[in-house]
Amino acid sequence: MKFSYAILYVKDVSQAVAFYEQAFGLKQKFIHESGQYAEMDTDTTTLAFASNDLAKSNLPQGFTENSLLSLPTGMEVGFVTNDVAAAFQGAVEAGANIVVEPKVKPWGQTVAYVRDLDGVLVSINSPM
């Protein structure tokens, strides 16, 4: 088994793509003409976005929408960089909400947390 992708359900797919390009330097790999689905090039695993409407059609029992008005869901998207402080500042300048400023953990890794425009928790980490 190989972990292949993660999909974040968002209000506006094109807005999410633009934010992740600006905040984290990712590049769009694919966007469906409907605007309901997109994939980002991360060099490793695919990070994708699907609209909340598409999620509703796929998940007839419902789901909890990501929102800055509520606590983050129990998951995070993690990025690794050699300069956590600069990446954190770039994400904040792009519109990310600060959760935890860069902090060195007891095991030596620097970690920071922000939330994207839809309230998804994003960690910015130095390599282990």
Residue with tokens 């130095």: 126
Query: Does position 32 have pLDDT exceeding 90, yes or no?
Result: yes
Backbone angles phi, psi at 40, to 5 degrees: -110, 150
What are the domain boundaries of the chain? 5-125
pLDDT at 104 over 90: yes
Q: Cα 91 vs. chain centroid, distance in angstroms?
A: 11
- Per DSSP, the three-state class of 88 is helix
Asked whether 101 and 54 are in contact (CB, 8 A), the reply is no
Between 95 and 128, the higher pLDDT residue: 95
- Residue 44 pLDDT greater than 90, yes or no: no
The Cα 62–Cα 6 span in angstroms is 18
Mean pLDDT, range 85-106, rounded to an integer:
98
Q: How far apart (Å, rounded) are the C-alpha atoms in residues 40 and 47?
A: 5
Residue 46 near residue 40 (C-beta atoms within 8 A) = yes
∠ CA(73), CA(53), CA(69), 5° rounding? 35
pTM over 0.75: yes
CATH of span 5-125: 3.10.180.10
pLDDT at 9 over 90: yes
Residue 29 amino acid letter: K
